[in-house]
Amino acid sequence: MGSVANNVTLRAGEEGEGEEGGYNPTDAVLFVGISLVLGIASRHLLRGTRVPYTVALLVLGIAMGSLEYGTSHRLGKVGDGIRIWANIDPDLLLAVFLPALLFESAFSMEVHQIKKCMAQMVVLAGPGVLLSTFILGAALKLFFPYNWSWKTSLLLGGLLSATDPVAVVALLKELGASKKLSTIIEGESLMNDGTAIVVYTLFFRMVTGSTFGWGAVIKFLATVSLGAIGMGIAFGLVSYLWLGFIFNDTVIEITLTLAVSYLAYFTSQEGADISGVLTVMTLGMFYAAVARTAFKGEGQQSLHHFWEMVSYIANTLIFILSGVVIAEGILGGDSILKHEESAWGYLILLYVLLQLSRAIVVGSLYPLLRYFGYGLDWKEAIVLVWSGLRGAVALSLSLSFKQSSDSSPWINHETGTLFVFFTGGIVFLTLIVNGSTTQFVLRMLDMDKLSAAKRRILDFTKYEMTSKALEAFGDLVDDEELGPADWPTVKKYITCLHDAEGERIHPHTAIENDNDVEHMHLSDIRIRFLNGVQAAYWVMLEEGRITQYTANILMQSVDEALDLVSSEPLCDWNGLKPNVHFPNYYKFLQTSTFPRKLVTYFTVERLEFACYISAAFLRAHRIARQQLHDFIGDSEIASAIINESEIEGEEAKKFLEDVRITFPQVLRVLKTRQVTYSVLNHLIEYVQDLEKSGLLEEKELVHLHDAVQTDLKKLLRNPPLVKIPKPHDLISANPLLGALPSAVREQIVGSTKETMKQRGVDLYREGSKPNGVWLISNGVVKWASKKIRNKHSLHPTFAHGSTLGLYEVLLGKPYICDIVTDSVVLGFFIEAERILSVLGTDHAVEDFLWQESSIILSKLLLPQIFEKMTMHDLRTLVAERSTMSTYITGECFEIPQHMIGLLLEGFIKTQGTLELITAPAALFPSYGDRSFRVSEIAVASFSHHASSYIVETRARVIMFDIAGFETSRTLQRRASSLISHGGDNPPRTPPSREHSGLMSWPQRHTKSRHHLEHPSEIDQHGNNFSARAMQLSMYGSMISNEGHSPRASPNGQEKPPKKPSHSRSYSRVPPPTESRRLISVKSEGSTTVRKNVNVGEIASESLIAPRENPDPNDTREMDYSSDESGGEDEHIVRIDSPSTLSFPRAP
C-alpha cells in the first residue's frame, strides 16, 4: 500500500533546529524507560480498582506532553526524548507497534469462538464501517463550518468509524467480559480496523487527486482485503511448516512467531500494496487455529508469557505516546486554540454524533447480529455500542494526514491540524468516558454477576478449600526442628476462607423457589466436565499420546459440544465421528489409477488416526469422570453427566474392539509409540531431578539431556509404523495357498498382488459369473443372499482365513450370495482360470480345493450349526472329522447318525419320495435320528432328510462327524477344538525329521491311475493338505514345537494302518476314526511371529504322520499355552473371529 504520507523521516530534526543544534537520538531511550516505569506504577497501584489501566496511561501521557509543551521545552533530555517520540513518523509508529499487538490479540482468540462469531464480525467490519463512514461524513459536511468537500468529510468519517483493537482488547482483558461478547467486540475491532485503513487509503487517494469509478473501487477493496487474507495464510503456512522442523527449542519458536508477524506486515503494506493489518490478523488467527498445539508444556507457557509481555510494553508505550500527541496538538505550536475557538464545542458534538452513529449501525444490523453465530441480546448490544473505543491507529492515521498536508497542494495545513485535533479528542473522550464507565454499564445490566449455579459451586469450593487447609495443617503442624504450630494464628491469616465456615451445603442440593435448578446445574456441570476433557487432551499432547493434528480435532469437538450444553447431553463424540469414519473420497482411491501400495499406506494411516481419536476420547472422558466424582462426589446431576459420558464412549469402545479383532497391529504400534515417548520423557525428568538435587553437574546434565533428546527426536521423526506383511508372507500363511506345494501355488497365484478395500465395497454379487476367488488376510466381510434365506444367521460375516467364491468357481455356477466388505479388508483376488488350471493335474489337489470350498458353504447353508465356529474350527473339522466321497450314477448311500453331509456337486434323489436334490444342499439322516434338532434345521430350503439317497449323476458329498456337540454353543466355548477332552494322552515328544517330512508335497506327481490303485496313500495325501490348512488357519499364533509320537501297540510295535473300506465309490479323505493332535494356539487371538519364521515350516514340523486309532475313546490334545514374545520388525496377528467393524462413509 505504501506510505500513506509518502514520508518516512523523523520530524524531530526540523523542529530542533536552533535549539542546541538538535537532539541526541539516545534521548529517545530515556522516554521508553520513563514510560515503562509509569506503566509499572499504574498497573501496580490500579490493580483491584475500577479504573482501566489504559485510561491511566493516556492521562499520564497527556500530563507528560503538557509538562513538555506547557513549559516551553524546559525538561532537558527528558523533554528531548518526548519530542523525538512525539514527532516520529506515523507509518513507522504503526509498523513498530501494530504487528505485535495485532498478532498477540488474534493468536489469543479461541478458534471456535471466531468461527461462530465470524459472520457477526464481518457484518460489523464491512457494512457497519461503511454505514458509519457515510453517517459521520454527512454530519461533518452538513453540521461543521469548515467547508470540507464530501471526499474530505468521508475521509475523516472513515478514519473515526473503526474501533481500535489496541484500546478495545486492553479494556476487555481488564473487565473480564463474557467470551462471546469479547470475541465479537475484539474480532470486530481487529477486522474493521483493517477495513477502515483500506477505506481511509481509498478516500485519501481521492482527496489527493486520484479518480475511481465504482468498478475500480470494488476492485481495489477486494484486492486489498482478499489479498491480505491470502498473504496471511501463506505466511502462516510456511512458518508453521518451519515450526515442524524445530525440536524443543523454545527460543527459536518464539522468535519465529515474532519475526513472521513483522515480515508479513511489511511485505503486505509496503511490498504488495495490500492491508498489513488484515494480513497480521489473518496470520494470528491461522496460528490460533492450526499452530496452537505446536507449542507444548513449558514452551507454551513461555510463548504466552512472552507475548503478554510484548503486548504490555507496546500498550504502555503507545497509550502514553498517544497522550503526548494529544497534548502537543493542544499546546504545541500548531495549537488549534489559536485558530478555532469553537473547536472544543464541535469536538463534543462530534463525540455525540460518533456515539449516535455507533448506535444506528448496531441497531440497523441488530437483526443480523441476533441471527448469526451465538446471537446477540439487547444488553449485549448496549455494551457493543458503548465499547466502541478509538485509539492509536486512528491517531496515527490523522498524524499521517497532517504530515501530508504540509506538502500536498490538495490539503491545507489547517485541515490537517483539525484532523489531529478531532481524532485526538475522540480518542481521549472514548477512552476516558466510555472506557472508564464500561464496567459500570456491565454492572447496571447485571452482566458481571455470577449465576446461581456458579455461586453455589464457589461456596462449595471454599468449604472444600477449608478442609484441604486443615489436612495441610495436620501434615505440617509439627516437625523435628521447630516443633508445633498454632492453628488459630494460621487461620487468622487465611482470610479468604472466613466466610466458608458453617454447614457444608452440596451445590446440587435443591432449594425452595428454584424451579430451574436442575437444568441450570446440568448445563454448568457439562461445561466443567468438557473443560476437564479438554485439559486432559492437553496433558495427553504433552505426554506424546496424541499428535498435534489429533489434538486440534479433539479440542475442536469439545468446543462444539460446549455450544450445546444447555439443550443436549454431552455430544463431543459427534464432532469426532467424521474423523473416525472413512470419507467418501477413499472410494476413489480404490480405482486402478492409484498404486496399491499407496492405497494401503493411506488406508492404514487413516485407521491409525481413527484409533488415536477413539483412544484419546475414551481416556479423556475417563479422567474427567474421575475428577468430577472426586470434586462433586455423589449426586444425581453428577451421576447423570457421568452416565452421558459413558454412553458417549460406547461407539468408541466398539470401534477399538473391532480394530483389535481385525487389525490389532495398528493398536500395538500406537501403544508402542506412546510408551516409547513416555519412557523418554521420564528419563528427561529423572535427569533433571538429579541435577536439582545436586547429584549431577551441569556438563553431565547437558550430555545426558542431549542424548535423550536425540532419541526423542528420532522417535518423532521416524516413529514405528504399522507394517503390512509382504505378499509372499501372506500367501505362505494363507490356509488355502500355504497348504499347496510351491509349484502348484505359484501356478495359481502368478502375479497376484494384495488388495486393500474399504468398507462397503462389493467383492462380488449374487448371480454374477464366478470370475475368481477372494482370500481374506485381514478384515471382515458380510454376506447376503436372496436365495439362501435362513433366520438362524445372526452374524453373516467371514473374517481372516476365509476363501470366498471357491465353490462357485469349482462348480461353474453363478455366485450364490453377495459378499460386501464390512471393514477395511486386506486380501488377494485369484482369477478363476488359474484355479481351474490345476484341477486336472492331481486328484489330491482337486479334493483339497473341494474340501476348502465346503467350509464357507457350510456356514452359508447351516448357520445354526456352523456360524459360531471359527475358520480354524471348521478346518479342524475337515481335517479331523470329515469324509469326502464321489458316487457314481445309481449308487445309494446313507448319512450315518451324528453326521451331516453337504452335496457339493451332482444330482441325487431321496429314497422313497424320489425328491430331486441339486447341489449345493445339506443332507441329514432321517427324522428318526435325534442327534440334531431337525425341527429347526428343516426350515432351511437347502436342507434334506432321508434314510438314504440315490445318485442320479456323478455326485460329490462331504460328511462331517460332529459327535459330542449337542449345540453350537459348545463349539464356541472351546476354541479350535471340536471333540471333548478325555482319556489318557500319549507322551509328547519332539517331532522327528521323518515326521516333519510327511507334511511335504511329493516331489513326483503321480497319475490318477496310481491314486485309484492305492487309496490309502490317497487318503494320507488328501488329509495332509487339509491338516496343513488347519495349521495355517492359526495365522499369527505361536505354534508349539512339541510333537506327538504315533501310538504304539502294547508290545511296542507301531500299529499298522487300517485299510479303508470302499465300494464302487472311492474315498478321498481318511475315515473319521483317524486322529491327529492339534497344535497349540492362543485362543484369545493376537500373538506374533518373527519375520524370519516360515509358518509353513513350523506347521510341517508340528504335524505327525496319520495313524489309525481303533480305540473310539481316544481323544485329541490341545495346548492352550502361548509364547508372549513377539517380533520387533513385523507384527503378524491372528484374526479368525467375526467382527462388525464398521467404517461408515461420511454422508
Query: Tell me: the pLDDT tens digits for 658-691?
Result: 888 778 888 888 888 888 888 988 898 898 888 8
172-177 mean pLDDT:
60
127-151 mean pLDDT:
89
* Highest-confidence segment of 203-212, 549-558, 787-796, 920-929: 549-558
Residue 1096 CA: distances (Å) to CA of 730, 776, 1033:
11, 18, 11
* Highest-confidence segment of 88-92, 513-517, 994-998, 1023-1027: 88-92
Grade residue 504 by pLDDT with cuts at 50, 70 and 90: low
Q: Give, in degrees to the nearest 5, the angle at Cα 551 between 718 and 1132.
A: 45
Grade residue 340 by pLDDT with cuts at 50, 70 and 90: low
SS3 label, residue 987? coil
C-alpha cell read off for 990: 519332539
Grade residue 1019 by pLDDT with cuts at 50, 70 and 90: very low
Instruction: Quote the CA–CA distance of 1076 and 976 in Å, as a whole number.
Output: 13
800-829 mean pLDDT:
89
Instruction: Quote the CA–CA distance of 877 and 873 in Å, as a whole number.
Output: 6
pLDDT for residue 599 is more than 50: yes
Mean residue pLDDT across the chain: 75
The burial class, CB within 10 Å (0-12 / 13-18 / 19+), for 1145 is middle
30-37 mean pLDDT:
90
Grade residue 615 by pLDDT with cuts at 50, 70 and 90: very high
Instruction: Quote the CA–CA distance of 351 and 622 in Å, as a whole number.
Output: 56
Instruction: Quote the CA–CA distance of 1108 and 1123 in Å, as a whole number.
Output: 31
Grade residue 53 by pLDDT with cuts at 50, 70 and 90: confident
pLDDT for residue 1051 is more than 60: no
Residue 598: the pLDDT is 78
Give the pairing type, strands 892-893 and 921-924: unpaired
- C-alpha closest to that of 285 among 313, 316, 266, 264: 264
DSSP string over 318-383: HHHHHHHHHHHHHHSTT-GGGT-TTHHHHHHHHHHHHHHHHHHHHHHTHHHHHHSTT---HHHHHH
- Characterise 725 by phi-psi region: left (phi > 0), alpha (psi -120 to 50), beta (else): beta
Minimum mean pLDDT range among 100-109, 343-352, 820-829, 1104-1113 = 1104-1113
Instruction: Quote the CA–CA distance of 896 and 926 in Å, as a whole number.
Output: 10
How many H helices and E strands in the chain? Answer: 45, 22
Instruction: Quote the CA–CA distance of 300 and 310 in Å, as a whole number.
Output: 15
Minimum mean pLDDT range among 64-68, 142-146, 318-322, 987-991 = 987-991
pLDDT for residue 1108 is more than 80: no
Rg (Cα) of the chain, in Å, rounded? 42
C-alpha 686 chain-centroid distance: 31
pLDDT: is 479 or 563 the higher one?
A: 563
Grade residue 739 by pLDDT with cuts at 50, 70 and 90: confident
Instruction: Quote the CA–CA distance of 395 and 393 in Å, as a whole number.
Output: 5
Residue 1093: the pLDDT is 36
Residues 6+ apart with CB under 8 A from 803: 735, 736, 773, 774, 775, 776, 852, 853, 855, 856
Grade residue 260 by pLDDT with cuts at 50, 70 and 90: very high
Grade residue 255 by pLDDT with cuts at 50, 70 and 90: very high
Share of the chain above pLDDT 70, in %: 74
Grade residue 395 by pLDDT with cuts at 50, 70 and 90: confident
pLDDT: is 855 or 1054 the higher one?
A: 855
pLDDT for residue 984 is more than 70: no
Number of Cβ within a 10 Å radius of residue 1009: 8
Grade residue 794 by pLDDT with cuts at 50, 70 and 90: low
Cis, peptide link before residue 920, omega less than 30° from 0 = yes
Under 8 Å between Cβ of 962 and 900: yes
Grade residue 1126 by pLDDT with cuts at 50, 70 and 90: very low
Residues 6+ apart with CB under 8 A from 667: 611, 656, 659, 660
Backbone angles phi, psi at 1029, to 5 degrees: -60, -35
- C-alpha closest to that of 116 among 563, 531, 570, 534: 563
Residue 1068: the pLDDT is 38
Under 8 Å between Cβ of 1123 and 1087: yes
223-247 mean pLDDT:
88
pLDDT for residue 1017 is more than 60: no
Instruction: Quote the CA–CA distance of 568 and 641 in Å, as a whole number.
Output: 11
Cα Dmax for the chain? 135
Residue 1040: the pLDDT is 33
With a threshold of 0.75, does the pTM exceed it?
A: no
Instruction: Quote the CA–CA distance of 498 and 831 in Å, as a whole number.
Output: 84
Minimum mean pLDDT range among 9-18, 42-51, 231-240, 994-1003 = 994-1003
Residue 535: the pLDDT is 92
Residue 1113: the pLDDT is 41
1034-1046 mean pLDDT:
37
Under 8 Å between Cβ of 940 and 922: yes
